[in-house]
Amino acid sequence: MGSIDQSIHRDALPDFRNLGVILRIVCIVLLLCVFAALCQVQSWGGTFERFLEVVLPVQPALLLSLGALWAASDWLRRRPYREGVLLVAVLELGVAALVHAGLGSVMPDLTQAGPERYGVLALAATGLILYYFHLRSRALSPALTEARLQALQARIRPHFLFNSINAVLSLIRLEPRRAEVALEDMADLFRVLMADNRELSTLAREVELTRQYLNLEQLRLGPRLRVEWHVDNMPEDALIPPLVLQPLVENAVYHGIEPCTGPGVISINAYKSPRGEIHLVLRNPYRRDGAHHAGNKMALGNIRERLSLHFDAEAGLRTTVSENTYQVHIVMPYRTAAAQAARVEEALA
């Protein structure tokens, strides 16, 4: 899990224009004042009075700070995180000095302490608040990661969906039986796409799903699409994150087959190496002139993330482009559900 967090989580200052952030800052500062009052006075009655005395000089500083941060929020958030923190600290020192000078003329007895004490207190409060926001964003980020993975996973090209439905419609009058099979394939495909895909699937299931997907593409593209499967020697029970193969094949069709009028071959190779690693190799024709790749990169990035989520550094994805072929090569460790269950039992015993 750790490796994924880091790739996605980036330290950043909170959004000082967000109401939730402003309320949190106000609450923290008030709580600090309550705490200060509690420490200074022994009786409950006196605490409240002391609290009011403490809050009095803090209020203008707080309001001024919130205003300044609100104004500078966008600018601050564009800086690198460390620089941003430094700038906020400088800003708070400025506010403290300003409030000290301002209050000095109105209430001289409140400001006997001298500006440096104000500065230290302001810095301490600022540090505490920024640290709180830092921890908070850390704590929330795995949830964001998960949501993002789920969202990406469920993406299938609308282009494919609507063209496939259109192809099925064309079959209904003349070849109703083929239309039935096509709709069944589509149902299976979407069942997997819409499922909760956090658990590992097996290689055999992934291959089956990809076959169903390719049946639908075959319907649309006819002789333009040729598929070569080399999966006779694959270990069927190998665990694999779901929807690793199908999106890659979808990319291969979109970028390698559809832009050509002539027939093109997609070859899919799955095998276990002597070292006990699972290899998945996908090749498709490649055209240099296409203006694509944004979607392709997103899909590849997503698959890389999920591979490392499940297998950490043991899995890898490599792409190579040669004169007219594009190749994706995935290597991952050979794990099976049975082996994992055995390990759990061993640990329990």
Partner 1 sequence: MSPGTPALRVAIVDDEAPARSRMHDLLEDCAPDLSVQVVGEAANGRDLLELLERQPADVVLLDIRMPEMDGIEAAQHLHKLARRPAVIFTTAFDAYALKAFELHAVDYLLKPIRLQRLQEALSRVHTQPLPGIELLQQLQSQARRHLSVQERGKLILVPMDKILFLRAELKYVTIRTAERDYLLEESLTRLEEEFAERFVRIHRSCLVAREHIDRFERVAEEGGWRVLLRGLNERLPVSRRQQHVIKEFARA
Binding-site ranges for partner 1 (CB under 8 A): 157-159, 161-163, 165-167, 169-171, 173, 219-222, 258-261, 289-291
The nearer residue to partner 1, 235 or 259, going by C-beta atoms, is 259
Cβ atoms < 10 Å from Cβ of 4? 20
Query: Which of 340, 316, 336, 320 shows the shortest CA–CA distance to 328?
Result: 320
The nearer residue to partner 1, 258 or 305, going by C-beta atoms, is 258
The nearer residue to partner 1, 129 or 219, going by C-beta atoms, is 219
Q: How many CA atoms lie within 13 A of 33 on its CB side?
A: 20
Query: Which of 189, 307, 184, 182 shows the shortest CA–CA distance to 250?
Result: 189
Question: In what helix (H) or strand (E) does residue 256 lie, and over which residues does it extend?
Answer: none
Shortest distance (Å) from residue 157 CB to partner 1 = 8
Shortest distance (Å) from residue 219 CB to partner 1 = 6
The nearer residue to partner 1, 143 or 291, going by C-beta atoms, is 291
Spatial strand order in the sheet of 316-321: 225-230, 264-272, 277-285, 325-333, 316-321
- Rounded to a whole number of angstroms, the distance between the first and last alpha carbons of the chain is 26
Shortest distance (Å) from residue 255 CB to partner 1 = 12
CA angle, residues 42, 44, 50, in degrees to nearest 5? 75
The nearer residue to partner 1, 160 or 311, going by C-beta atoms, is 160
Q: Which amino acid is at 172?
A: I
Convert 80-96 to b/e letters by CB count within 10 Å (16 or more is b). Answer: eeeebbeebbebbbebb
* Alpha carbon distance 168, 188 (integer Å): 15
The nearer residue to partner 1, 96 or 257, going by C-beta atoms, is 257
Torsion sign over Cα 120, 123, 124, 125: positive
* Alpha carbon distance 313, 8 (integer Å): 16
The nearer residue to partner 1, 133 or 326, going by C-beta atoms, is 326
The nearer residue to partner 1, 54 or 265, going by C-beta atoms, is 265
The nearer residue to partner 1, 69 or 219, going by C-beta atoms, is 219
Q: Is the separation of the CB atoms in 95 and 64 below 8 Å?
A: yes
Burial class (CB in 10 A: 0-12, 13-18, 19+), 211: middle
Shortest distance (Å) from residue 319 CB to partner 1 = 22
Shortest distance (Å) from residue 185 CB to partner 1 = 15
Q: Six-digit token pair at 28?
A: 């923290």
Shortest distance (Å) from residue 264 CB to partner 1 = 10
Helix axes 245-252, 294-311, angle to 10 degrees: 160
Shortest distance (Å) from residue 295 CB to partner 1 = 13
Shortest distance (Å) from residue 163 CB to partner 1 = 4
Shortest distance (Å) from residue 173 CB to partner 1 = 6
